[in-house]
Structure 1
Amino acid sequence: MIQEKATTFIIDMYKELNIDETKAHKRIQEIQDEINQTGTYTHNKDELEYGAKVAWRNSNRCIGRLFWDKLTVRDLRHINSEKQFLHSIEEHIEQATNNGKIKPMISIYSNQIEIKNEQLIRYAGYENYGDPKSRETTQLAQHLNWQGKHSDFDILPLIYRINKQPLQFHSYTEGLIKEVSIKHEQFPALEKLQLKWYAVPIISNMDLEIGGLYYHTAPFNGWYMETEIGVRNFTDEYRYDKLKDIAEAFNLDTSTTSSYWRDKALVEFNYAVFHSFKQSGVSIVDHYNASKQFKKFEDNENNVNRKVTGKWSWLAPPLSPSLVHNYHKGYDNEMRSPNFLYKQTEQGCPFH
């Protein structure tokens, strides 16, 4: 099985990159010999870089795939010490943040390193504070003797294990995590809610599959689309559930649904999220431009006769979806390799 997947991967890669066919056959033979001897094989750096980029291109839930070939791939499979690992994680955060001009990036480690966080940066979730989505990870951190401030926006530590040793946690260096305060120039009362969000979403709970090999620890990031923060994170009832507080800050009548207070608040709040990021110099895309970028991605793929697959419910934005083109299209949700695979039941867009 692994031989078949490896062979398909090498053939596809060498064909797409216009590498001589005889070199492909030679590389396939090398892989076959290695598999016969060890039961597995090792990607070289070119294969790892190509595979990671194509995994993004094949990510059905991601609307930001236009930039798949701009992904910075960090091959960190050699790292085996705690000091090196922690330095490299903070380095990823710093370089990906890039003073606000966010860089798409992936850091690929050996499977001897394990990360327990859903994202490298997440806010803690307590019984009455913070992000409910993080409660399980917060409890694990507390079990390891981490103590948060019990506020709505405590940044969780990195929880990790190296070489099957006991779990450890690492609190990030102060000032490393860039955050954006959410404001609205027409509604100063919004600022009194003291809402904020971190700049870079770095997914750390997915497997990267390339040619039959699975990298269990490969944190990666793109940048935010504003609705992910303004609709899902802050207003979903099972997340921060702040929509009514936001509506009241906008002085809307929340006594009846016929006032459309939810809709009005949602639009203005997403406007606030987008412009707060922009004013802070942090990369973000609105759902209209994200859809236009995805249309460009579709055109590019069609021009080279590659099928565009997608998960419609993730490509249609949660705000005014019928105003963008991908709402009106159907997509085949076929999974292709290479790809990012969800562990257990986690869901979401891999790059947002």
Structure 2
Amino acid sequence: MIVPGYRDHPTEPWDPSAPVDPAEADDFLRRCYLENPRLGPVEPRLAIVRAQIAATGTYVHTTEELAHGARMAWRNASRCIGRLYWRSLMVLDRRRARTADEIYSLLVHHLLTAAGNGQLRPVISIFAAAQPGQPYARVWNEQLIRYAGYRGADGRTIGDARQIDFTAAMRGYGWRGKGEDFDVLPLAIETPHEGVRLYELPERAVREVPIGHPEYGWFTELGLRWHAVPAISNMRLTIGGVHYPLAPFNGWYMGTEVGARNLADAGRYDMLPVVAARMGLDTSRESTLWRDRALVEINRAVLWSFEKAGVKMSDHHTESQRFIAHLRNEEKAGRPVPADWSWIVPPMSGSLTPVFHRYYEEMDLRPAFYLDDNRCPHGHG
């Protein structure tokens, strides 16, 4: 995924009742103004911010600070291979939204803006900052678009196995899906004054791509599809000591994210045995490499289908080369590049990519995105 991914992100201790650390605010503002000389001298701004923190325990970012801080957070995302594009992030300032209806409407707008005509663009919608000691709005879903998962009476999984518990939580709030493989889950929006409210996404906000294959006509019979916009919605954005618990963001998919993980993982759609059987492969022993052969064809199918549909998606070889270009750019700028090797290397044919043959330094640089423990009160987020 050409944004920080969504699985098992690092957490960092966060006390919602604690005031902003003036030193962290100072560090961010100095770097922000250094990288943006057009903002003018930083000292007058520092004086204002220090006074706000002393009086209220926090401060308010200007529109320019918010936008550059969000882009810096993407630049610092150690598990994202697509950081070459960090400057192109469209930042939508949604800090005035308060009600669940307002938030829902703006989230739909986010998806429509990101999808466009299929040439996806990276977008982040930043809602109100957390105030020390006060409740805040959030979305329980890990992504704005996710497919439901059900466990049948016979123990068979329908849909996305990863989402079984979350789907059960949504059904506990009265939601009823069709019980099919690609039911789009509702958005669960929680606000301090309204509690939790569920919203169905309109069809126009969910661009989907049916998955076929350039050679195997039977592939369409599998009924597979995937949504175009990967909008992560359960990560907290931290900029200069200020926390934004609701800041969904998206880029576009790298093919292996859908083909080698979402559709192939045993804990997701588990399609490798199905595709291998259709291909007539010998699955009696691992040494036939039937998994590898089926995996390649699923990934070919995904890339081909998105291209045919006119929906932006990148392949892992091209994106690996672009990450190396990002490393060179940041080196010239004198900035360190934190990177987690286990995430930067693609989940398929890793040794064939240039990112495989390097070592990286892992650093927790801020601004940053974090995944908090127990995001969903039911433990499903």
Name the residue aligned to 1:172. 201
Letter in 2 for 1:290: E
Q: 1:1-352 to 2 correspondence within 5 Å?
A: 2-19=21-38, 23-110=41-128, 111=130, 112-127=136-151, 128-344=157-373
Asked if the contact 2:253/2:313 (under 8 Å) is kept, the reply is: yes
Which SS does the other structure have where 1:207 is aligned?
strand
Secondary structure of 2:370 counterpart = strand
Q: Is the 8 A contact 1:190 1:250 kept in 2?
A: no
Name the structure 2 match of 1:349. Answer: none
Letter in 2 for 1:7: D
8 Å CA contact 1:210–1:338 kept in 2: the answer is: yes
Deviates more, 1:210-219 or 1:233-242: 233-242
Answer yes or no: is the 8 Å Cα contact 2:160–2:269 preserved in 1: yes
Q: Hey, what's the Cα distance between the residues in 1 that align with 2:280 and 2:298?
A: 13
Q: Which has the higher helix share?
A: 1
Shift of the alpha carbon at 1:188? 1.2
Q: Residue 99 of structure 1: CA displacement?
A: 2.0
SS at match of 1:294: helix
The one-letter code of the counterpart of 1:130 is G
CA distance in 2, matches of 1:172, 1:20: 39
Deviation, structure 1 residue 147: 0.2
Give, in whole Å, the separation in 1 of the partners of 2:238 and 2:356: 29
Q: Is the 8 A contact 2:100 2:189 kept in 1?
A: no
8 Å CA contact 2:100–2:194 kept in 1: the answer is no
Cα pair distance change 1:17/1:175, threshold 3 Å = closer
| Cα distance, 1:20 vs structure 2 | 7.3
- For the residues of structure 1 that align with 2:335 and 2:195, how far apart are their CA atoms? 45
* TM-score, scaled relative to structure 1: 0.95
C-alpha displacement of 1:255: 2.4
| TM-score, normalised by the number of residues in structure 2 | 0.88
The answer to whether the Cα contact below 8 Å between 2:148 and 2:184 also exists between their aligned partners in 1 is yes
**Which amino acid is 1:2 matched to?**
D
Amino acid at match of 2:35: E
Moved more, 306-315 or 181-190: 181-190
Unaligned runs of 5+ in 2: 1-19, 131-135, 152-156, 376-381
SS of 1:167 mapped into structure 2: strand
Residue-by-residue CA offset, 1:276-331 (whole Å, 9 max, x unaligned): 00100110000000101101111111111111110100000010000111111111
Structure 2 Cα separation of the partners of residues 87 and 175 of structure 1: 13
Q: Per the alignment, do residues 345 and 236 of structure 1 end up closer, same or farther by CA in structure 2, a change over 3 Å counting?
A: farther
Tell me if structure 2 keeps the 8 A contact 1:55–1:337: yes
- Cα-to-partner distance string for 1:259-287 (whole Å, 9 max, x where unaligned): 21111111111111111001001100000
Contact 1:113 1:161 in 2 (8 A): yes
SS in 2 for 1:87: helix
Looking at structure 2, the residues matched to 50 and 78 of structure 1 have their Cα atoms a distance apart, in angstroms, of 19
Secondary structure in structure 2 of the residue aligned to 1:208: strand
